[in-house]
């Protein structure tokens, strides 16, 4: 019997170590039935170990509105009652579910009671802890945010407010915000070509950028010829490797007409960012390489593309199917933000 138990524990350990994402695990629901977490594939998950007689139990009041607000966008809360901390989750799972429904009107799924620490810890929680940097669960209402790819994004302790978690969660739930936050510069590409339809989509995105007094003072050159890409690259090797380079230029004939003459740089920069985000949304990799205001680069690109004097290259965007997957940098620095709040009447 002991040998059988040891073998079972060893098998669970192998599962935990070999699991690549959360979809490799199976749990039991509140009726005791096996549920593969693959059923939640492609969704954003907040996994919580809960208790009904804890000082943090009122967090259910925050969790349920969060669930209602984002559920339609592919968000799920997975509730795992646990009685390991102060014996604060007594009773059967049916009694726990009845309590939570009656007192907090929850609608997100609750699963069977589990251990989250120790030798009887569920493999799911062993994996979650390892993915978040290790360390036992300290108390009830510890939370793990899992992205649409099934990988752990962040761990939150019991005292972390649900409102603070929402900002991180929005980046995953909202596809626009997720696209913005996960885009990063890609400089290595495969030899796979980019379709003309995708190139046009990126150009359309560029032209959808904001522009002062709707002047649209831009001109785009899409370069796909390998010889031209090599010639255009100069010292910037990533352009040589790209499948297409989009050169974003300012059209000075348009820029100098009427008002807002000085804004062509801002307008073309906004268009460049739109193209970068569109490339990322299409599963492509891209990097912004500067030209203007460096006279030598402007002259070099203008010469290669035989641009008239009134078309000034702002930058060259190298684009291709990514051959690398760098991790996006977290550039959030609260010290770079100040809030100017006024009370009463403005003077």
Active site residues: 54
Question: 315 and 294 in contact (C-beta within 8 Å)?
Answer: no
> Quick one: which of 271, 131, 281 has its CA closest to 198?
281
Identify the residue whose tokens are 């009830």: 140
Structure tokens at 319: 């684009």
Residue 18 main-chain phi, psi, to 5 deg? -90, -15
255 half-sphere exposure, CB direction, 13 A CA radius: 18
What is the Cα–Cα distance from 174 to 179, expressed in whole angstroms? 9
Is the sign of the CA dihedral 211, 216, 217, 222 positive or negative?
positive
Calculate the CA 134 to chain-centre distance: 22
303: number of Cβ within 10 Å: 10
What is the Cα–Cα distance from 218 to 229, expressed in whole angstroms? 21
């Amino acid at each position: 019997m002991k040998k059988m138990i040891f073998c079972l524990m060893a098998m669970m350990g192998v599962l935990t170590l070999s699991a690549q994402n959360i979809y490799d695990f199976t749990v039991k629901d509140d009726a005791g039935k096996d549920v593969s977490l693959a059923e939640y594939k492609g969704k954003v998950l907040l996994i919580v170990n809960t208790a009904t007689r804890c000082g943090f139990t009122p967090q259910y009041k925050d969790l349920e509105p969060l669930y209602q607000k984002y559920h339609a966008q592919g968000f799920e809360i997975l509730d795992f009652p646990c009685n390991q901390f102060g014996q604060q989750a007594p009773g059967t799972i049916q009694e726990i579910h009845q309590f939570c429904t009656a007192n907090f009107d929850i609608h997100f799924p609750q699963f069977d009671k589990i251990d989250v620490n120790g030798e009887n810890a569920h493999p799911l929680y062993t994996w979650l802890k390892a993915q978040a940097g290790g360390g036992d669960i300290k108390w009830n209402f510890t939370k793990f945010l899992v992205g649409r790819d099934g990988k752990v994004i962040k761990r939150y302790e019991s005292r972390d407010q649900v409102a603070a978690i929402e900002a991180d969660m929005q980046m995953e739930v909202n596809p626009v915000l997720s696209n913005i936050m996960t885009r990063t510069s890609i400089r290595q590409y495969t030899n796979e070509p980019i379709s003309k339809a995708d190139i046009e989509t990126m150009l359309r995105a560029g032209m959808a950028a904001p522009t002062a007094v709707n002047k649209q003072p831009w001109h785009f050159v899409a370069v796909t010829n390998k010889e031209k890409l090599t010639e255009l690259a100069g010292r910037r090797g990533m352009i040589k490797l790209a499948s297409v380079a989009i050169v974003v230029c300012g059209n000075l004939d348009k820029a100098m007409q009427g008002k807002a003459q000085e804004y062509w740089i801002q307008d073309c920069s906004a268009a460049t960012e739109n193209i970068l985000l569109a490339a990322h949304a299409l599963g492509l990799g891209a990097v912004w390489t500067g030209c203007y205001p460096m006279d030598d680069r402007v002259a070099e690109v203008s010469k290669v593309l035989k641009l008239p004097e009134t078309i000034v290259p702002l930058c060259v965007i190298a684009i291709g199917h990514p051959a690398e997957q760098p991790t996006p940098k977290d550039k959030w620095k609260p010290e770079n933000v100040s809030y100017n709040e006024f009370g009463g009447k403005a003077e």
